[in-house]
Structure 1
Amino acid sequence: MKKILKKLTPFISIIFFGFALWYLDQELRHYQISEITAQLSEIPNLYILISLILSFLSYVILTGYDALGLEYIGERLEAGKIIRAGYVGYAFSHNMGMALLTGGSIRYRIYSAWGFSGMQVTQIVGFSAFTLWIGFCAVGGLALLFATPEMPGEVVVPYLSFRVLGMLLLLMVVGYVWASAKVRKELTYNDWSFTFPDLKLAVKQVAIASVDWLMAAAVLYVLLPEGEISFFSFVGIFLLAQIAGLFSQVPGGLGVFESVMLLYLSNFMPASQVLGILVVYRIIYYILPLLVALIVLGYQEYQVNREAVQQLGEKATDWVPRVVPQVLSFSVFIGGAILLFSGALPSEVPRMQWLQHAIPLPVIEMSHFFASLVGAALLVLAGALQRRVDAAYHLTVGLLVFGILFSLLKGADYEEASILAVMLTALIFCRQEFHRKTSLFSGRYSAQWLTLIFMVLISAVWLGAFAYQHVEYQSDLWWEFTLTGDAPRYLRAMVAAFGFAVIIGLIKLLRPNRPDISAAGNEIDRAKEIIAESDRVLSNLALLGDKELLFSESRRSFVMFRREGRSWIVLGDPVGPPEEAEELIWQFCEHCSESQAKPVFYQVGSDYLEYYMDLGLTFFNIGEEGRVDLTSFNETTPDPAIRDNHRQLSEAGYEWELLLPGQVSPLISTLQRISDESLKNRKRRETGFAVGHFNEQYLKNFPVALVREGGRPVAFSNILRSGHQEEISTDLLRYRSQVPHRIIDFMMVEAMVWGHEQGYRWFNLGLAPFSGRDEHYFSSRWNTVANFVYTYGENLYGYRTVRAYKEKFHPEWSPNYLVCPAGLGMPRTLSNLARVVSGGFSNPLSGKIEGSSLKEKEKQQGISGP
C-alpha cells in the first residue's frame, strides 16, 4: 500500500497544482496582468521594510528549533554554528518542500562537519520537526478557538467546527506538556521509539515554535492594507493555507497556498491586490532567504578551498561542501523557471523603448526565444548537476552566461540577470564538486523531478495565457515580429521550450540500458577474476551465491547485495579498481532510486566515505576491524594465554594441515558431519551474508585448514585470501563437541603462522566493538543488531568480550561503518539489516535468541571472560 501511495504522490501533486491554477484562473479572469503588477508598487515601502525585518527575525527564531534539538540529545554548540545550520537548512526546506525539513539531508551535511553522528543528526532533525508541529497546534488552536475566521459565502464550514478543531489542537499541546512532566518511560511503536523531554524543554518548544508561526504570519500580514482583517483571524487562515500547501506535496506549496489565501482575502480586497501582495510575500519570505543561503554556501566553499590551499593539500575537515550539488541543483532549477516565467510575461515598455535605440529588433527577438530555451535546458541539467556530472557543470556554466546575456538583451531584465549571476558565481567556486565523467543521460529522473519540470512548464504556459487572455488568437501571431509583440514571442518561446523537453525525453527513453543486476551464481566466474585482484578478504563472500551482483560498465568491479524489504543492503565497499568505485556506488544508488528502495552499505571502510556522503547518505561508526601484521608475526606475538593454549593442544596431539582447494572434495562428507555437529552443539543455524555457510561449491574455492587428533579430523576452517598477498582470514570455524573450545586459539595461531610463511601482510580478525564503549553508546535498535554481528557470527565470544579476545593478538584497528539514508526511516532500515545479518534466527529484533539467552550462550561456549 505504501509503495502504491508513493507512486501516486507525483500525480497527487499535479492534481493539487492543476486545481490551484484552475481556481486562480477563475478568480483572476477579469483582471489583466498589468493590474496585478501595478499592485506591487502600491505597497508602501515602510510595509515592505517591516516585512523584511520580520522575515529575518522569523528565520533567526527558526534556528531555535535546532538549539532545542541539541538540548534534547544533551549536546552543545556555538550559537553562530546553530544559526548557520538552521538558516541554510530552513531556507532550502521552505522552497523545496517540508519533506526536506524532516529528512534533514542538508542539515546532516552541516552537523556532520562538526562531529555529530548520523543518529544524533536524525534525532535533532526529528525533534525540530516535532517542535514545528507543536507550535502549529498551539497557535492554530488559539486562533481557531478565540478568533474564528469568517469564510466566504460560497464556502460552507460550520462555525463550531473551527472551534472544535481549535480545542482538539490545544488539548494535544496540553497533553504533550503534561506527558513531558510525568512520563519518563520510552514509548515504542513497531520500529519507532520516543522519549519525552523534560517539562522545561517542552515549554521552550511550545514558546519558540509559537513565536515562529506568529512571526511567519506577520511577514504577510504587514503587507495587507490597514484595518481590513484582525491579525489573529488572519493567523488561522494562514496556518490552514500552509497545511494545504504541505499536504499538496507541491514544493513550497506554490499555487496551493496562494489559492487558499486568495479564497479568504478576496472578501476584503480585490483579487488583483491579493495576488500582488502574495507575490511580494513569496519574494521576501522564500526567494530572498534562498539567495542569501546560496551566497553563504558559496562563500563557505571558497573559504574551504582557500584553507586547503594554505594547508598544502591537507584534507579539509569541513563536510559542508558535500551539500553543495544538491543546493546548486535546486538553485539552477529555480533559475530555469525564472527564465521561462520571464519569457511568458509582457516586457516593461520603458525598457523596450530604451533597448530599440541600442539593439536591433532581430537580436531582441532571438534573445527572447533563446532565453526560454536556456530556461528549459537548465531544468533538465539541474538533475544531472545533482548527480555531480562533469559535463552538466560545464554546460550549466555556459548556459547561465548566455541566460544573463539574453535576459539583458531581450528586455533589460537586470533583476533576473542578477539572480543568475549569483548562481553562476556560486557554481564557479564549487567546480571541484562536479567530477563524474559519465553521460548526461546515464541517470534516470525520478517521478518527483519530472513532476517538477512538468509543473514549471505548465505554470509558464498558464502565466502567458493569463497575461495575454485579452489578445485575440490568430495564426498570423506566430509570424509577427514587433517591439511590442509580447504575445507572439510568448507563443514561439513556449513551443520551443516544450519541444526541447520532448526531445530530451525521447533521448532519455532511447538511451542504452544500465548494466544488469545478476544473481551471484550466474556471474561467479567473472566475480572470481575480480576477487583475485582484490586486496580485501571480505570480497570472497560474493562466492556464497546468496547475494546479487551489480557489475560496473567495464565489468572490472562489482558490489554484492541482498534485498530485504525496501532496503538493498550491500556488504562492504565496491570490489575492484578504486578508480571505478565512485561511479559504481552512484549506479547502485540510482538502481535503488528507480526501484524505490533505500541503499544500505554495511561494513564499509573509510576509503570511500566521501562518495557515500556525496549521495546524501549518513554513516554510523559500528565498530572497528582488527588486522594482525603478519610481516613480523611469530608464535610469541599473541598474549601468553593464547600461546599456552596453542602449546597445550600441540602437546596433546592436535595437528594442523592445509588442504588445497582441489583436495577438499574427497573430505567434504567428513567436513559436513563436523559442521552439523558444531552447529547442533551450539544450537545455531547457518546465517550467511556477512559470514560463510557450509556449502560444497563455496568451500571448493578456498584452502581448508584441517585439524586432526590421532589422525581423525575433528575441526576445520576455510581460509579466505585476498589478491596480491595482502591479507587472509578464517571464515567457518567448526569443531566436534568433544574438542575443547581452546581449539579456536590453536587454529588462529596456526593460520597466522602459515600466512606469515606464505608472505601475506595481514590477518583479518573481523569486527569488534569500540574500546571502552558499552552497549548504551549505540541506539537500542543498533545494539540488538550488534549482538548478532559480534556474538553470532563465526566467533565464539560475546558482544562484551569479543574485543578483549581479539586484543590478545595485538591487531591494528580501523573503523567500520554502516552507511544509509538519514531520517525517520532509520529504525526500519536497522530492522531489515538485522534480518539479513541474523540469517536463520527468526525474530532478530525481539531481543531473544532461539534456544538460549546471551548469557546462557556464553556459558555454553565455556567463556567466563576475556
Structure 2
Amino acid sequence: MSPQAAHAGTPPVDAAPEAAGTPASLWQRCRKWALPLLGIAVLGLLLSHAHKVDWAGAWHALQRYSPWLLLAVLGLATASHALYGCFDLIGKRHLRHRLPYWRTWAIAVTSYAFNLNLGSLVGGIAMRARLYARAGLDDATVAQIVGLSLVTNWLGYGLLAGGLFAAGAIEPPRQAHIGELALRGLGVVMILLALGYVVACAVSRGRQWTFRGKRLTLPSARLAVVQLALSASNWALMGAAMYLLLGQQVPYATTLSVLLAASIVGVITPIPAGLGVLEAVYLALLSGTVKQGALMGAVLAYRALYYLLPLAGGLLLYLFLERYATNHPDGANDEQGAGVPHRDAAPEAVQSRR
C-alpha cells in the first residue's frame, strides 16, 4: 500500500473505471478466485504431508522446555510486539496528527496481534481503520499511517534478508528452483532497494506528489533511518526467539534467514496466520540439521508464544480502546499541549514555519 495524505482543499478524484478486457480489469477478476485457490492448494499439500511429521517427537520436545526458557522467549515476543507498535509512531511524527502517542501505539499493537492470527486485511487494515476512525482521524490520514507502517516493516526485512542472502547464510532447497548465486544477487537487490528508500527520502525532502487527488509526501531521511532501525530490530528479536527455541543448534544467522523466508511465503499464501506454512518452510530448510520432532516442537512453541498469547492481550487492548473511544468521542483532540499542528498540515511546511 502506498502512503497517501489528504490534498488540502481538494476533494478526492475518482479514478476512471478500467475498460473491460484491459489487463488490470482481467487481473481484478482473476485474483478473486486465484488467491483462494492457491491457499486451498497449499493447505491441501500441507495436510497430505501431515502424516509424515513426527508429532510424538514434537510433543516430547515441548515437554522438555524449561519454564525459564519459555519465559525468556515470551519476553522477546513481548518486546517485538511493543517495538512494532512504534511503527505507527513514525506516522504520527510524519503527519503530526493529534492522536496521543499512547493511543497510537496501542492501536498498532492491537492490530498487529490480530494481523498475525487473522490476516492483514482483518488486523493490519480493517481493525486499524476502525480504531483510528473511532479516534477521529480521517481516511486519508489513516491510509498514510498504514502505508508508512507497511513500508517500515518491509524496509527492515529487505535490509536483513538481503544481507543474509547476499552473505550465503542460507542454502536454497533444490525444489526452490533458485541457485545460490541467484539468491545472493537477490540479496544485493534487496539491500539496494532498502538503502534507495533512504536516499529518495533525503533527495525528495519537501517535494510532494498528487495521486488521485491526494497528496503524498515522503518522510525525512532521519525518519527513514529510524524506520530501518526499528524494523530490523523487530525482525532480529523474532529470530532470537526461534534461536532459543531451537536450543541454539542452528546458527543465529541461519535461523533468522529461515524465519524471513517463512514470513514472505506466509504473506503470499492467503491462509490465516500462515497455518502450516511456517512449519513447512522450517521442515524443508532445516530437516537435515535438527531432528524433526525437536524442529516441530520449536515451531509450535513459537506459534503459541508469538501468535496466540499476544492475541489474548490484543483482544483485551481492543476492548479497552473501544471503551475509551466511547467515553472520549473527541479523542483526536485530547493530546495535551497547545499549538499542535492540524493533521492535514504538510510536515515539511510545519517544520519550515518552526
**Superposition TM-score tier, normalisation by shorter sequence:** 0.7 to 0.9
Residue 62 of structure 1: aligned partner:
84
Query: For 2:345 and 2:200, how far apart are their aligned partners in 1?
Result: 26
User: Does the aligned pair in 2 maintain the 1:144–1:166 contact within 8 Å?
Assistant: yes
Task: Indicate the SS of the match to 2:247.
Answer: coil
Matches within 5 A, 1:663-702: none
* Counterpart Cα distance in 2 of 1:205 and 1:93: 20
| Shift, 1:187, TM fit | 4.4
The amino acid across from 1:276 in the alignment is G
Q: 1:241 aligns to what?
A: 262
For 1:695-721, what per-residue CA distance to the aligned partner results, in whole angstroms no more than 9, with x for missing partners?
xxxxxxxxxxxxxxxxxxxxxxxxxxx
Q: In the alignment, what sits opposite 1:527?
A: none
**Structure 1 residue aligned with 2:283:** 262
- The 1:5–1:114 alpha-carbon spacing in structure 2 relative to 1, beyond 3 Å, is closer
Unpaired runs of 5+ residues, structure 1, are 306-314, 321-775, 780-866
* Separation in structure 2 between the aligned mates of residue 83 and residue 199 of structure 1, nearest angstrom: 22
**Which of 145, 159, 162 is the equivalent residue of 1:124?**
145
CA separation of 1:192 and 1:143: change in aligned 2, threshold 3 A: farther
1:46 to 68, 88, 93: 68
Check if 1:136 corresponds to 2:157: yes
- The alpha carbon displacement at 1:203 in A equals 0.7
Choose between structure 1 and 2 for higher RCO, CA contacts under 8 A separated by at least 6 residues. Answer: 2
Q: Residue 693 of structure 1 corresponds to which residue in structure 2? A: none
Given that residues 39 and 269 in structure 2 are in contact (C-alpha distance below 8 angstroms), is that contact kept between their aligned partners in structure 1? yes
Match of 1:95 in 2: 117
Q: Could you report, residue by residue, the CA deviation over 1:181-218 in whole angstroms, capped at 9, with x for unpaired residues? A: 11243346678864321111111111111111111222
Q: Does 1:229 align with 2:250?
A: yes
Distance 1:231 1:319, change over 3 A: farther
Contact 1:147 1:232 (C-alpha < 8 Å) held by counterparts = no
Deviation at 1:111, TM superposition (A): 2.2
**Cα gap change, 1:46 to 1:92, in 2 (>3 Å):** same
Question: Alpha carbons of 1:233 and 1:319: their partners in 2 closer, same or farther (altered >3 Å)?
Answer: farther
Does residue 20 (structure 1) correspond to residue 46 (structure 2)? The answer is yes
CA contact (8 A) 2:161 2:190 kept: yes
- Cα deviation 1:413-450 (Å, max 9, x = unaligned): xxxxxxxxxxxxxxxxxxxxxxxxxxxxxxxxxxxxxx
What amino acid maps onto 2:83 in structure 1?
I
Which has the larger Rg? 1
Give the alignment's Cα RMSD to 1 decimal: 2.7
CA distance in 2, matches of 1:63, 1:12: 31
What is the CA distance between 1:50 and its match in structure 2? 1.1
Q: TM-score, normalised by structure 2?
A: 0.79
Please give the residue correspondences for 1:736-747 in structure 2 after superposition, counting only pairs within 5 Å: none
> Which structure: greater helix fraction?
2
Question: Is this contact kept in 2: 1:147–1:233, CA < 8 A?
Answer: no
- What's the CA shift for 1:147? 4.5
Give 1:298 deviation, angstroms: 3.6
Summarize deviations over 1:517-550 as a string: whole Å, max 9, x none.
Answer: xxxxxxxxxxxxxxxxxxxxxxxxxxxxxxxxxx
* Structure 1 position 137, deviation (Å): 0.7
Corresponding residue to 1:106 among 119, 123, 127: 127
1:177 paired with 2:203, answer no
What do the CA deviations read for 1:756-814 (whole angstroms, capped 9, x no partner)?
xxxxxxxxxxxxxxxxxxxx9699xxxxxxxxxxxxxxxxxxxxxxxxxxxxxxxxxxx
The structure 1 residue matched to 2:94, chosen from 69, 72, 91, is: 72
Q: Which of 299, 304, 309 is 1:278 aligned to?
A: 299
Equivalents in 2 of 1:69, 1:300: separation in Å? 19
Cα distance in 2 for residues equivalent to 1:192 and 1:317: 29
1:161 paired with 2:185, answer no
Shift of 1:68: 0.5
Q: How many Å apart are 1:24 and its aligned residue?
A: 3.8
CA contact (8 A) 2:236 2:256 kept: yes
Which aligned pairs between 1:850-865 and structure 2 lie closer than 5 A? none
Change (3 A) 1:318 1:272: farther
Where in structure 2 are there 5+ consecutive unaligned residues?
1-25, 332-342, 347-354
Q: Is the 8 A contact 1:58 1:215 kept in 2?
A: yes
Looking at structure 2, the residues matched to 48 and 69 of structure 1 have their Cα atoms a distance apart, in angstroms, of 33
Judge conservation of contact 1:246–1:252 (CA < 8 Å) in 2. Answer: no
**1:93 corresponds to which letter in structure 2?**
N
1:57 deviates by 0.3
What is the 5 A alignment of 1:507-518? none
Q: Percent identity?
A: 27
Q: Is the 8 A contact 1:112 1:319 kept in 2?
A: no
Alpha-carbon distance in structure 2 between the residues aligned to 1:300 and 1:101: 15
Structure 1 position 225, deviation (Å): 1.8
The verdict on how the C-alpha distance between 1:148 and 1:777 changes in structure 2, with shifts beyond 3 A counting, is closer
Cα 1:271/1:83, change in 2 over 3 Å: same
How far apart, in 2, do the equivalents of 1:220 and 1:242 lie?
13
Cα distance 1:68–1:222, how it changes in 2: closer, same or farther (>3 A)? Answer: same
Deviation at 1:90, TM superposition (A): 0.6
Which residue of the partner structure matches residue 83 of structure 1? Answer: 105
**Counterpart amino acid of 1:84?**
A
- TM alignment of 1:353-372, pairs within 5 A: none
Residue 217 of structure 2: which of 162, 170, 195 is its match? 195
**Offset at 1:152?**
5.0
CA distance in 1, matches of 2:215, 2:314: 33
Q: How does 1:616-765 map to 2 (within 5 A)?
A: none
Equivalence for 1:6: 32
Q: How many residues get paired?
A: 308
Displacement of 1:155 after TM fit? Answer: 5.8
Query: How many Å separate the matches in 2 of 1:159 and 1:147?
Result: 7
How many angstroms does 1:65 deviate by? 0.7
Deviation at 1:285, TM superposition (A): 0.4
1:370-519 → structure 2 map (5 Å cutoff) = none
